[in-house]
Amino acid sequence: MMPIARLLSKRLGTSLLVLFGVSMLIFAIARIIPGDPARIALGPNATTEQVAALRAALHLDDPVWIQYGYFLGDLLRGDLGVSLYTNRPVTTDIAQFLPATLELVLVAGFMMVAIGLPLGILSARYRGGIADNIVRIVSLLGVSAPSFVWAVILMLIFAFYLPLFPVAGRISDSYSIEAVTGFLLVDTLIAGNFRAFGNAAWHIVLPAFALALSGIGQATRLTRANMVETYDRPYIEMARSYGFPARRIANRYAFKPSLIPSLTIIGLDFAAMLGNAFLVEAIFAWPGLSRYGVAVILRKDLNAIVGTVLIISATFLIVNIIVDLLIAFINPRIRLSQRSS
């Protein structure tokens, strides 16, 4: 078996075990949260009889392991149950809300890489200079405040005082785009509506930037630190002595080995954004899965909690596998270790 294929199969197997463990854990935790899900779902005016009927329908009076058995049986049929929050199948909710969050996180991830890595390279290359100092201050600001603080600040500056960007939603009301993939940036292109694409892109800038800022700061700082360390290595000295141009040394010899730890952290940050996006989604009225996830936890919507956590966990694991594969691709030592094992 090819080393990469071997690594992939091993990671997929582990991921399935992790997902199974997560499902058991979240299933149990969701039931420990105080409050009766049936009472919360039916609202304060529901009668005791209505609550009892819903509890029976949800098997809430059965022991937890029997409830888990029902859950696994339904899961194997691709049925995550009905959400008590939206009164729709959880799979329908996830299918509707997940693309919005993924789109936001993907754009934020792109910003993290496209802004964070070049800034880190720039900072390392001109270490001790004005550019380095400015980048370090900016990146420190980025990591020192959570995304929702940036979301409010950005909204205040670029939507309230300087009304340059929209405040809420994914696209202006005047556009009606048929959902094909659920990713508006893609669906608008499929529809051939470039004005709508521009509008959707215009809507995503502020929330994605707010979400990415902390990651940008982290990627910048990490890339800089790793590159500074690499610059002190003998082979860089050798490259300099051969008279290679500074840009080539930075981009080719110093950046590549420094990328591996940065890539690991970026991967983790990217996956963490799926869970952390909820406040940014709340502030920018972004109809995504993170916001849905928090709402269902507050409403103790058992099926939706388990479904949402499983999907976020699966996405987290997939991103980790992709990062591992990328690192293996970049770093020959990992490929070789797989071959020897």
Partner 1 sequence: MKSILKPITAMALASSVLAAPAVANAGGTLRLDEVAVGEIDPSKASDYADSILMFNLYDTLVLPRQGGPGHEPHLAESWEGSGTEYTFKLRSDVNFVSGNPMTAEDVVFSLERMKAMGKGLSYLFANVESAEAVDSHTVKFTLATPYAPFVASLVRLPIVDKQAVMSNLGEGEGGMKDWGEAWLSSNTAGTGAYKVVSHNPQEETVMEKNGGYFLDVAEAAPDQVRLRYGLEAATVRTLISQGEHDIASQWLPPEVIKALANDGAQLLTESGTGAFYVKMNTTKAPLDDAECRLALANAFDYDAAIKMIAVTDEVSQGSAATGAIPVGMFGANPAGNGLSRDMEAAKAHLANCKYKPEDINLELSWIAEVPVEERFALLMQANFAELGIKSEIKKLPWALFAEQVSKPENTPHISQLFVNAVTGDPDTLLYGMYHSTAAGTWQSPEYLSDAKVDELLDAGRTGADDAAREAAYSQLNDRLMEIAPSIYGYDRQSVFAASTRVKAPALSDPEKAFGLDGMGFTFRLMEVAD
Note whether 183 binds partner 1 by CB under 8 A. no
Distances (CA, A) of 97 to 37, 138, 182, 233, 328: 22, 33, 8, 48, 33
Note whether 240 binds partner 1 by CB under 8 A. no
Note whether 45 binds partner 1 by CB under 8 A. yes
Q: Which residue in this structure is represented by tokens 């991921």?
A: 15
Site map 252..291 versus partner 1, x via CB under 8 A? ------------------------------xxxx-x---x
Region of 19-27, 64-72, 168-176, 269-277 interacting with partner 1 (CB under 8 A): 168-176
Note whether 172 binds partner 1 by CB under 8 A. yes
Note whether 195 binds partner 1 by CB under 8 A. yes
- Report the number of secondary-structure helices (H) and strands (E) in the chain: 16, 0
Which among 201, 225, 205 has a CA at the least distance from the CA of 116? Answer: 225
Note whether 209 binds partner 1 by CB under 8 A. no
Among 68, 126, 175, 244, binds partner 1 (CB under 8 A): 175
Note whether 340 binds partner 1 by CB under 8 A. no
Region of 10-18, 108-116, 159-167, 252-260 interacting with partner 1 (CB under 8 A): 159-167
Note whether 313 binds partner 1 by CB under 8 A. no
Region of 82-90, 207-215, 233-241, 333-341 interacting with partner 1 (CB under 8 A): 82-90
Distances (CA, A) of 255 to 187, 333, 335: 36, 17, 20
Burial of 49 from C-beta contacts in 10 A (0-12 / 13-18 / 19+): exposed
Where b means 16+ CB within 10 Å and e means fewer, 83-114 reads bbbbeebbbebbebbbbbbbbbbbbbbebbbe
Q: How far apart are CA 25 and CA 44, in angstroms?
A: 29
The residues, any chain, with a CB within 8 Å of residue 145's CB and separated by 6 or more, are 213, 214
Note whether 36 binds partner 1 by CB under 8 A. yes
Note whether 192 binds partner 1 by CB under 8 A. no
Note whether 164 binds partner 1 by CB under 8 A. yes
1-20 residues near partner 1, rule: CB under 8 A? none
Radius of gyration of the chain (CA): 24
Q: Considering CB under 8 A, how many residues would be counted as binding partner 1?
A: 53
> % helix / strand / coil in the chain, to the nearest 5?
75, 0, 20
Region of 41-49, 108-116, 243-251, 308-316 interacting with partner 1 (CB under 8 A): 41-49
Note whether 70 binds partner 1 by CB under 8 A. no
Q: Cα-Cα-Cα-Cα dihedral of 51, 57, 58, 59, to 10°?
A: 110
Q: How far apart are CA 205 and CA 33, in angstroms?
A: 36
Region of 5-13, 23-31, 162-170, 269-277 interacting with partner 1 (CB under 8 A): 162-170
Contact 186, 171 (CB under 8 A): no
Note whether 40 binds partner 1 by CB under 8 A. yes
Among 32, 43, 232, 241, binds partner 1 (CB under 8 A): 43
Contact 59, 70 (CB under 8 A): yes
Among 16, 73, 88, 180, binds partner 1 (CB under 8 A): 88
Note whether 134 binds partner 1 by CB under 8 A. no
The residues of the shown chain that bind partner 1, judged by CB under 8 A, are 33-36, 39-40, 42-50, 53, 85-88, 93, 96-97, 152, 155, 158-160, 162-165, 167-168, 172-175, 195-196, 198-199, 201-202, 282-285, 287, 291-292, 295, 300
